[in-house]
Structure 1
Amino acid sequence: GWRETLVAAGIEPPPIVRGDWTAEAGFLAGEALLAASAVFCANDQMALGLLRALADAGRRVPEDVSVIGFDDVPDAANYRPPLTTIRQDFPALAHRAVGLLVAEIEGTPGAEASAVVPTLLVERASTR
């Protein structure tokens, strides 16, 4: 969705910098993204590490770089600065996953596999 949105807006998507979902991986990725003006992280833990890398390099969030995470972990509001993030409905995701698993076990897979569980943008201080 991120890449499609950029392309639709006429913006060439930058290369993806991969990590292993940890704050340390976010820190290491941040060292490669110091010139960025905005970064969308795959999860909030990686965003936490990115925030540290940016601060260590003297980059200000959100003045120099906007940062968005994904998951809305309970501590996201207490990061410095509080993290803008995408909130997932984990109970709905779990319900959907268990339903798909049961349908697969019973041999009655349904169209639910392609259903989208809505998300919510939680705007905090890490973006302009």
Structure 2
Amino acid sequence: MALYPAVSSDHAQGSCEATAHLLSLGHQTVHHIAGPADSDPAMARAGGWRRTLEGAGIRAPEALHGDWSADSGYELGWRLAADPTVTSVFCANDEMAIGAIRAFFEAGRRVPEDVSVVRFDDLNVSAFLPTPLTTVHQDFHRMGEELVRLVVEQIRSTTRLSQPRVIIPPGLVVRGTTAAPSR
């Protein structure tokens, strides 16, 4: 049992939803630009992606680990852009997705016509892009409210919290960066 209140998103569930969405469009596999291998959220997201592919009878391609930055997404996006069989990518966060999309653009690969991209987080950066990004939305406002509620409850209580950890389910928001594969 946790000694202090904690609130987080269900990273694995969100990854499952993103991967299942891409598979439902007809993509044969989903590549993953993952966060750092020493990050718990990144590993949970990669685990959900891998389990969804394996559950569909698909061998997961190697996850490409970045450092959460647009620069790492750009570098890893170039690696994927060089492979014409890549038609869908799940990026572990917004910044890496933006970097990957830039790499695809520079390589002459169109999103979503040639490559579908889903990201995780749903920060407000999408509002500034010409094509709104399909995303796994984390409800940061609700997470903050839950954390404040838990902290206040712990301050007022003379005993440990019965449920000090709350997991908020994320949700897939389909926008303009996913489509059926063109080939």
- TM-score class, shorter-chain normalisation, is 0.7 to 0.9
Are the counterparts in 2 of residues 77 and 124 from structure 1 also a CA contact under 8 Å? no
1:1-128 correspondence runs (5 A): 1-34=48-81, 35=83, 36-96=86-146, 99=150, 108=160, 110-113=162-165, 115-128=166-179
Q: Structure 2: any 5+ residue segments left out of the alignment? A: 1-47
Identity of aligned residues (%): 44
Q: CA deviation at 1:97?
A: 5.1
Are the counterparts in 2 of residues 38 and 65 from structure 1 also a CA contact under 8 Å? yes
1:123 partner amino acid: V
Are the counterparts in 2 of residues 48 and 79 from structure 1 also a CA contact under 8 Å? no
Are the counterparts in 2 of residues 96 and 112 from structure 1 also a CA contact under 8 Å? no
Structure 2 CA distance for aligned equivalents of residues 109 and 18 of structure 1: 36
2:111 partner amino acid: V
TM-score by structure 1 length?
0.83
Q: How many residues are paired up?
A: 126
Structure 1 CA distance for aligned equivalents of residues 162 and 50 of structure 2: 28
Q: CA deviation at 1:91?
A: 2.6
Structure 1 CA distance for aligned equivalents of residues 60 and 147 of structure 2: 31
What does the per-residue CA deviation read over 1:36-83, in whole Å, with 9 as the maximum and x for residues that have no partner?
211111111111100100000000111110000111111213324221
1:118 partner amino acid: P
| Residues 1:55 and 1:97: Cα distance change in structure 2 (over 3 Å) | same
1:125 partner amino acid: G
TM-score by structure 2 length?
0.60
